[in-house]
Structure formats: structure tokens, C-alpha cells
Amino acid sequence: MKEYHIEGSHPLRGTIRASGNKNAALPCIAAAILTDEPVTLSNIPDIEDVHVMLDVFHALGGEVTPLSPNAYRLCTRNIVSSDIPLEHAKKIRASILFAGPLLARTGRAGLPPPGGDVIGRRRLDTHFLALTELGAAVEQGDMFTFTANHLTGNDIFLDEASVTATENGVMAAVLADGETVFTNAASEPHVQDLCRMLVRMGARIEGIGSNILTIGGVKKLSGCTFEIGADFMEIGSFIGLAAATRGDIFIEGATIPDIRPAKIAFRKLGINWEHEGSVLHVPENQTMTVNCDLGGMIPKIDDAPWPGFPPDLMSIITVAATQVSGTVLVHEKLFESRMFFVDKLIGMGARIVLCDPHRAVISGPSELTGSELHSPDVRAGMALVIAALAAKGKSVIHNVYQIERGYENLVGRLAALGAALREEDV
């Protein structure tokens, strides 16, 4: 086990490069199962979730050849198992993404209940809907077993715009007979990345970037070379980091269109940025004052499916709001346990009223003090790192495994910006 030791109140300055999108890398690794030809993926973040997905890929019979810390050649000439190993599935929710490709390639997929972040109930029903509408049968015992003699295209309305269910359905549909239409599909940048990779492999997909995806099934997919896009969740995290620490940070390799939905929310806190090309700059001279709604009303920041404000940035913007003058309501609509981490911020001195599992009222600015903390999930863990870096005094963060599931070389990269942060084994 590892923990972070942080000395706060050091404004961060310098340049940091955005990593590849974790949430795009994971389905793209699973998609390599769909062909028996080599697939080369680059800009893969060097993080724990990726390592677990590669372990699953290898356990299913895939060949994994590292080309660099951020690039791999993957090939599944022969699939030796269609059962996802329990020890891997319980580590990462994204293990469910192998269900669609395995079903399409072999006619069977065995899936133990997936693990991952503990942020509330995370339904699997939409995955079942997508795959059964394509012709799969599902049995539930110690694991979920999907079987199908063949998959047939269908007109499918998803009961929620689930990212991973959309990805699973698309990966199954590309090798199904006939045409499939997914309505109410997720359209996040990582879903778009997966679709673009599949097109490069020979899939026929229309409507990429919208909530209606039309897929013409093909008999076979080929290998390809594909570069994962930048992680806009990480970019949003660094924006919050710069603002909360009164820092001055340049973020290289940013995908500016992907961060546009977050800009409206950060502007409500008086936090802005500028960009030139793919370099985004968060300057130190921020207003850091809540911009009230018309009539002087308290503004609300709430999340929504793309292109709304990303749910994974709710923890980050909550910490940033503690350092802003004024009052704001944050409303996390999707997961009933994600906002419980604010108790840790309250213990550090933040003025927050947790109204219910989904809503919190934040009044700032608050002077935070160092504390002993425990990371509950990837994004809340990063939010606690930001809080500790903004606080006076020393903080210790435990369970940093959760943070490092989603952020590559976080200690080294933040230290290069001037953060007083070190990692220790315990």
C-alpha cells in the first residue's frame, strides 16, 4: 500500500501534458478482441486500470506487446477463454467491456460482477438490454453468461445513455447481421474515440458524436493503428488544481472542444482559461468570485450526459468552489454516494452543507487545513489531492491506489509544477 504526504499552500506553476483518455483506452483495448489481426494503440495512459484491462486481454488469449510506456500492439489470433477472470473483474468495472466483443467473436461471454469505484448503484441493465436486443441470451449464476448462435441487427432504444452499455452494444453490433440503430446512445468523446477506431478497423458506423448511432454489420474486421485522444477529465482536474492553489499552469495536448462543457460551470466560479492551439493556459489572476444568476440568485452547477457538465468533474469543481468567494449549489445527479466525500472537506475547514446524497451548498472562500484523508474513488481522490495542495499544513492521503487507477505518474508530474508531494510505501 502507498500513501501521499503533501505540504500545502504552494502555488503550482509550469507546464503539464495531458495524458491519453482512460475512458477511451479501456474500450479500445477490449475492441482489439474483435479481430485476429494486430491492433496498435498509442497515447495509452500508463495507469492501473489500463494494466488490469491488458491483463484481462492476455488472459483471454491476446498477445500484448509493449512498444513504449504509452503504446501497445495487441493481437488475438486465438481466443483461449471467453470467461473474464474473477480476480481481474473485481478490480475494475470496465471489465464488462469485454462482453460485447467476446459475444461477437465467439458467441459467448462469461462475466463476473464487475468492481470499480464505490460511488453508488451502477446499473448493468442497459448492457443486458443492448446485447439481448441483438439476440443474446443471458443466464445468471456465479457469473453472467451471454450466449448467441449469431447476432442480428435491431432498432434499439437504450433506457439510459450509459457510456459503457453503448460501447458494449456498438462492439457487438459491428459484427452482427444487418443494420443496428441505437437511440439514446451515449456520445461522450471516449465513445467517439471507440467508434472512430472501429471505423478504422472496417466497421460501418454513422452518427458518431450524436445520440443516434447507425451500424451496418460486417463479416470481419481488420487490424489498425489508432491514437487515443487526450483525457478531458484530467484536463478539467488540472484546471481545478490551478485555480484552487492560485497557480499558473499551461496544459499541453488539450482537446479544446472536449473541455467546452466544463467552461460554463467553471465560469460560474470566476475561473477562466485561454488557449492557443492545443495549449490551454489557466492564469493565476483569476476572479475567483461566484457569478450569481439573474436577480442575484445562487447559481447551480449540475452534471448531465454529454454534452453536459461531466459527472467525473463534480468532485473537482466542488473543491475549487471552496476557494471561491460566494455561494453555489452543486447537484450530482447520477450517483448517490459520490458527494459523501465532502465530509472530508468539511473536516478540513470547508463550509459545505450536504443537503442530501446528491446536493451540496458551498460557501467560500474557506481556509483549509491539512488532514489525514482516505481516497474513496478516482475522482474524489484527485479532489482530495487538490484540497491538500490548497490547504495550510500537512496532509496524508491513504488508499492512493484508487487515484493512480486514473492519473498517470501523478506525483512526478505535480512535483514538476512545484507541489510538495511525495509517495511513501506503508
Where in the sequence numbering do the catalytic residues fall? 117
Taking a C-beta distance cutoff of 8 angstroms, is the pair 281, 273 a contact?
Answer: yes
Separation between Cα atoms, residue 200 and residue 315, nearest integer Å? 35
Instruction: Name the residue with cell 477472470.
Output: 85
3-state DSSP call for residue 191? helix
The percent of the chain in helix, strand and coil, each rounded to the nearest 5, is 35, 25, 40
Taking a C-beta distance cutoff of 8 angstroms, is the pair 79, 61 a contact?
Answer: yes
Separation between Cα atoms, residue 344 and residue 182, nearest integer Å? 41
Helix-then-strand count for the chain, H and E: 14, 23
> Which alpha helices (DSSP H) does 174-220 contain, by range?
189-200
For residue 273, give every residue at least 6 positions away whose Cβ sits within 8 Å of its Cβ, in sequence order, or none. 239, 263, 266, 280, 281, 282, 283
Find residue 396's DSSP bridge partners.
Answer: 5, 372
Closest CA to 389 of 424, 413, 364, 363: 413
Q: Which region holds residue 69: left if phi is over 0, alpha if psi is between -120 and 50, else beta?
A: alpha
For residue 384, give every residue at least 6 positions away whose Cβ sits within 8 Å of its Cβ, in sequence order, or none. 319, 341, 344, 373, 375, 395, 397
3-state DSSP call for residue 331? strand
